[in-house]
Amino acid sequence: MISADELHEPATYPSITRMRISHDAIPEWPIDLEFHYDGYTIPNAQPPITLGDVLYMIHSLLHRQITHQDWARLSLSEETAIARAYTRRCRSVPSSAQVEASQGVKRIDYLLDKHVFRGLVRTHDEDGFYHWKLITG
């Protein structure tokens, strides 16, 4: 379990205000996190991206439904593998299987059976973002 205090800790050291997370299985959906001045924060005292920010964004973006266009781009073998992952995900929590099934295929289904978070690894930076690879297993 992660405590509330740990979720508010900076995600990196030194702390950063911009990062991009990608996964080899879904390169078309990078996860971008960037602090924006909101009028309530002291200028030039930007808070860093926190562990909670990172975990929330990974979870929320992987649980977005795919579009019909996303599905149309898949090969027949990819469709079959992703459909099986979707079915396994829906059946994994019997109490909410019907709700999950009604929401359709999600990005996390593209990870197939490698959907457990294992961490992030720093990779080559570009475009002013600090880049990280999402590792799953």
For the cut 80, the answer to whether the pLDDT of residue 27 exceeds it is yes
Could you tell me the sign of the dihedral formed by the alpha carbons of 50, 56, 59, 60, in that order? negative
Greater confidence (100 vs 65) lies with 65
Q: If you average pLDDT over residues 116-121, what whole number do you get?
A: 95
Q: Cα–Cα distance between 65 and 17 in angstroms, integer?
A: 27
The answer to which of 18-27, 37-46, 49-58 has the lowest mean pLDDT is 37-46
What pLDDT is recorded for position 52? Answer: 92
Cis peptide before 47 (omega within 30 of 0): no
pLDDT band at residue 85 under the 50/70/90 scheme: very high
What pLDDT is recorded for position 41? Answer: 47
Greater confidence (36 vs 74) lies with 74
pTM, to two decimals: 0.85
Q: If you average pLDDT over residues 116-136, what whole number do you get?
A: 90
In the sheet with 117-122, reading across from the earlier edge strand, the strands are 31-34, 18-22, 130-136, 117-122
Q: Where are the domains of the chain?
A: 4-136
H or E element, residue 51: helix 51-62
Q: Pick the closest to residue 86 from 102, 58, 106 (CA basis).
A: 106
